[in-house]
Structures are given as structure tokens and as C-alpha cells.
């Protein structure tokens, strides 16, 4: 199962929703989407819901073979601590979020923590890459500390 979270930001993320629905049409694997405030007429995903509890979110993250997330730190850090395969489509500044998520995701991509998708048309390629990608390993509860250390080395 592939689990997708468009997050809880109260701005729609139709660009990601459309890319995920198109991806789901080409897969035999079940795709489940947490939509947040994004209203989109999905045609190819198995299950769609706007919000869930933290426990439900943890269960979806645990069960998924691959996660496709928007660029918010919360779900990304939790997924990293579970050593999940993470594909991220960052939200654009002003139209999809109150700030640009591209800078963080570029850095996380460059240090091997996620696969960043900066052009949503490349989502199918990123998902295939994630199936065999060796993501950085993180000790449970240490995502923020590990990222800080990697970023400090990256900037030196």
C-alpha cells in the first residue's frame, strides 16, 4: 500500500492530488490518500479521507510500503524514524502554503533522507526510485537531531 498525505494546511494542494491520482491509475498497488483541505475528484485511489487521528496516521505510515508526503516536517520526521521510503512533493510559497517548502526538501533529498519531487510530472519515476533507494537511517526519536547534524556538515 502507498499512503499519501497532503497535510493539514488549510490551503488546497490540487497539483499533488492530480499527480497522485494519475500515478494510482498506473499502479496495481493500493493508494490511500489523506486529503486535508484539498477537494479533488479522485478516480483511481482506493480510499480518500480528509483527516484522521494521530494514531490512525501512525498506522497508515507503519503499513505503507512507500509514503508520498507534502513538505511538512511532522509526517516526514515520523516516517524517517520508522525508516520508511519517503517521496515528497513540496508545496509552493503563497499559492499552496504560507512559505516555500522547496529549500528544506532539496536539502533532505541531497542527504538521502527523502526523494524530492520538484516537478510533479516526475512522481512515477520517484516512486520507482524509492522502491530500491537506500534512505538514511535514523534512530527513533532522533530525527531532528540527526537532520541538524547532517545539515551542519552539509553547510561546512
Q: What is the per-residue pLDDT across 15-67, written as a single tens digit (0 to 9) for each?
A: 999 999 999 999 999 999 999 999 999 999 999 999 999 999 999 999 999 99
- Give the span between the Cα atoms of 113 and 97, in whole angstroms: 22
pTM to 2 decimal places? 0.89
Structural domain span for residue 109: 2-155
- Give the span between the Cα atoms of 154 and 103, in whole angstroms: 14
**Structural domain count of the chain:** 1
Confidence tier at 140 by pLDDT (50, 70, 90)? low
Confidence tier at 135 by pLDDT (50, 70, 90)? confident
Confidence tier at 142 by pLDDT (50, 70, 90)? low
Amino acid at each position: 500500500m502507498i499512503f499519501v498525505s497532503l497535510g493539514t494546511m488549510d490551503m488546497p494542494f490540487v497539483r499533488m492530488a492530480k499527480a497522485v491520482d494519475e500515478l494510482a491509475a498506473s499502479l496495481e498497488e493500493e493508494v490511500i490518500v489523506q486529503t486535508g483541505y484539498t477537494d479533488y475528484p479522485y478516480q483511481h485511489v482506493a480510499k480518500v479521507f480528509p483527516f484522521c487521528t494521530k494514531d490512525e496516521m501512525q498506522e497508515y505510515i507503519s503499513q505503507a510500503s512507500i509514503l508520498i508526503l507534502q513538505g511538512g516536517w511532522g509526517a516526514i520526521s515520523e516516517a524517517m524514524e520508522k525508516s520508511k521510503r519517503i517521496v515528497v512533493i513540496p508545496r509552493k510559497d503563497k499559492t499552496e502554503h504560507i512559505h516555500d517548502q522547496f529549500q528544506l526538501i532539496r536539502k533532505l533529498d541531497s542527504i538521502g533522507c527523502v526523494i524530492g519531487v520538484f516537478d510533479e510530472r516526475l512522481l512515477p519515476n520517484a516512486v520507482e526510485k524509492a522502491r530500491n533507494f537506500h534512505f538514511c537511517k535514523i534512530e527513533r526519536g532522533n530525527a531532528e537531531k540527526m537532520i541538524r547534524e547532517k545539515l551542519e556538515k552539509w553547510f561546512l
